Structure 1
Amino acid sequence: MIEPAELLHVLGGIARGRHLQQFGSTRAQLSVAARAGTINRVRQGVYALATTDPKVVAAAAHGGSLTCADALRAHGVWVLPSVDAIVHVWLGGSGRRHPHTPCECIPHHSPGTAGVGLAPVASALVHAYRCLDQEAFFAAYESAWNLRLLSAHDRKRIRRELPKSAHRLLDLARPDAESGLESILRLRLHLLGIHLDCQVVIEGVGRVDFVAARRVIIEVDGRLNHEGPEMRHKDLTRDAAASRLGFETLRFDYAMIMHDWDAVARAVIAAIARARGRADDVSHKRRSRKQMHAQIAHLGMHL
């Protein structure tokens, strides 16, 4: 016989009693385990391990599942760091609150039936739109899509449940953003009227995060993929190869994007101006050469 604590571990640390009973745990066994302290009784009919995330336990005590940013983070979705101690709870379409102490929970009602544990990614994103700023939501949405946590059905559902004012963000979103920093940078530059080509493969350089004005490479250096002397050397080698091909490379890290955005925007705008200036200069020289050849040909006809 599998002990209730072992079942809870397999089921994610929290479950309803009737779910545990489907796997063979009787009410008597659950009561014995709760009295022995191997599992905790959250409220009537809900049990958890002592090691279960306290926010998940609080959400279950409130009557639903943990949602919003905390649930997205638990699912592995990229979410901006937060010290928010408030518990966001999905209660389904018509779930009711269960009084508990202490309680500073924020309830979210949306279609569906809420269980205990974590709200599904699609539901958590709908709720996150209500609580996060737009760029934080956008980054989380692209991250979930990139991680293949959103099906086409999920994306349609999110569009249906969010207000029409959110559709411009959904239309801009792409499934190839590999970090939330990339999403935030692209959204901010889009609002400045700057178009970026994303995840571009340049022969002799490799794949780069963005290209602007056909000649400006923009790389977002997250800590995971750009730390250490070896990775730094690789980045410098790529930048040198790009320079030989006529590209200018700009690199921005988390601190610059999140805390010194004005410097980032000014650098991008200046680099694009230089790239367009070089393009105009090349075009002018080509036109001059064509005009010169035409003049020579014209003179030859009259000699």
Structure 2
Amino acid sequence: MDIEVALHRWGGAARTWQLHRSGVSDGDIADAVLSGRVIRARKGVYIENRRDPVGIAATHGGALTCVSVLATLGIWLLDSQPEPHVQLGRKGRKHKHPRCRCVEHYSAERTRFGRQSCADALIAAMQCLTTEMLFVAFESAWHLGLISADDRRRIITEAPQRLARWLRRTRGDAGSGLESLFRFRLLREGITLECQVHIRGVGRVDFRHGQVLFEIDGREHHDGDEAFHRDRVRDGAATRAGYRTERFDFAMIVHNWPQTLAVVKAAIASSDWRI
């Protein structure tokens, strides 16, 4: 097997014995290192790319984990964390390397290379993310089909009780991480909304309470005149059907939450009064 193919199959980093198991000889390894096709991170460890997060993790001594894996999978995270998070196993040893800013984890049974699974990364992220952001990441991973029902049960089982209580309230149909964040913050206030509701003549809406609809406009969506027009057509259809629509964007939810919460409570109070 070609050494580059073998490295890719091992997740972007491998020990000498792993390459041997894939049919790569010592001569093949030496030739590939000499030609620059692969990199010798340290004695007995080879990587595809020294600047790739997996390569950095292997150079440090382990596998990519936690928020670093979640980010590569496209899971919604509010803040980017450029420092590689590295799983070193329970007794792993870190290795010095230039410009090291790695965040170390020591929870796995064995030291491995490559990247951890999404489920394992979420478990590791319990050490680094707030309850709010883990709730959002969990729903994002579920929506993207990156964690199975067995994965979800395992994550909840391994979570501390205070966190597990929230993870049991997650759903797999959130259209965006911003929707998950909005719902979590309302749940924390004791407010429960209907989610992903289909309304005849309007379509699917993000949230509903009585005769009030709540729509979430993410920072990556709703750009341009066409999207603006489409939203207003939906809002008009909702009004004709007897609904009131409240829209919230990224800044309103993330940076102006007290004002957003006040609007939600006022709209719900108005809807309850009408009933």
TM-score (norm 2): 0.91
Q: After TM superposition, list the pairs within 5 Å mapping 1:121-160 onto structure 2.
A: 121-160=118-157
Aligned-partner residue type, residue 237 of structure 1: V
| Identity %, equivalent residues | 45
Distance 2:204 2:111 in 1: 42
**1:184 Cα offset (Å):** 0.6
8 Å Cα contact 1:14/1:52 also seen in 2: no
| Residues 140, 180 of structure 1: 8 Å contact kept | yes
How far is the alpha carbon of 1:9 from its aligned partner? 4.9
- SS state at 1:97 partner: coil
Q: CA deviation at 1:177?
A: 1.1
Aligned to 2:48: 49
1:9/1:180 CA distance change after superposition, 3 Å: same
Task: Report what 1:198 is aligned to.
Answer: 195
> Do 1:59 and 1:66's aligned partners in 2 also have CA atoms closer than 8 Å?
yes
Determine the C-alpha separation between the residues in 2 that align with 1:23 and 1:111.
25
Query: Does 2:178 align with 1:181?
Result: yes
The equivalent residue for 1:39 is 38
Q: CA deviation at 1:81?
A: 2.7
Deviations 1:240-281 (A, max 9, x none): 0001111111111111111111221111111111111222xx
The separation in 2 between residues aligned to 1:101 and 1:14, in whole angstroms, is 16
Question: 2:195, 2:111 → 1: CA distance?
Answer: 37
What amino acid is aligned across from residue 242 of structure 2 in structure 1?
A: G
Aligned residues: 274
Distance, in Å, in 2 between the alignment partners of 1:49 and 1:144 is 27
Corresponding residue for residue 262 of structure 1? 258
The match for 2:17 is 18
- Could you say what the CA RMSD is over the residues aligned between the two structures, in angstroms? 2.0
2:27 is paired with a residue of what secondary structure? helix
Give the structure-1-normalised TM-score: 0.84
Letter of the 1:62 partner, please give it.
H
3-state SS in 2 of match to 1:274:
helix
Match of 1:252 in 2: 248
Tell me how far apart the structure 1 counterparts of residues 119 and 38 of structure 2 sit (CA, whole Å).
30
CA distance in 2, matches of 1:258, 1:224: 14
Deviation at 1:61, TM superposition (A): 1.9
What is the CA–CA distance in structure 2 between the aligned matches of 1:101 and 1:224, rounded to whole Å? Answer: 36
Structure 1 residue 112: deviation in Å? 4.5
Contact 2:48–2:55, Cα closer than 8 Å, also in 1: no
Distance of aligned partners of 1:51 and 1:235 in 2 relative to their CA distance in 1, 3 Å threshold: farther
Structure 1 gaps, min length 5: 280-303
Contact 2:41-2:50 at 8 Å conserved across structures: no
Compared with structure 1, are the counterparts of its residues 36 and 148 closer, same or farther at alpha carbon in structure 2 (3 Å cutoff)?
same
- Corresponding residue for 2:235? 239
> CA separation of 1:112/1:142 partners in 2, compared to 1, >3 Å: closer, same or farther?
farther
Aligned partner of residue 100 in structure 1, secondary structure: coil
Shift of 1:47: 1.5
Residue 71 (str. 1) matches residue 64 (str. 2): no
Q: For 2:216, give the aligned amino acid.
A: V
CA distance in 1, matches of 2:123, 2:265: 34
- Alignment check: 8 A CA contact 2:92 2:106 kept: no
SS of the residue corresponding to residue 250 of structure 1 reads strand
Give the match's secondary structure for 1:256. helix
The match for 2:159 is 162
Q: Distance in 1 between matches of 2:21 and 2:229?
A: 56
Asked if structure 1 preserves the Cα contact closer than 8 Å seen for 2:88 and 2:94, the reply is: no
Offset of 1:7 from its aligned partner?
Answer: 4.2
Amino acid at match of 1:181: L
Q: Answer whether contact 1:56 1:66 (CA < 8 A) is retained.
A: yes
- Radius of gyration: which is bigger? 1
SS at match of 1:38: coil
User: Could you say what secondary structure the match of 2:173 adopts?
Assistant: coil
The structure with the greater share of residues assigned to helix is 1
Shift in Å, 1:107: 2.2
- Matched to 1:75, the amino acid is L
Letter in 2 for 1:209: D
Q: Secondary structure at the match of 2:168?
A: helix
Q: In the alignment, what sits opposite 1:172?
A: 169
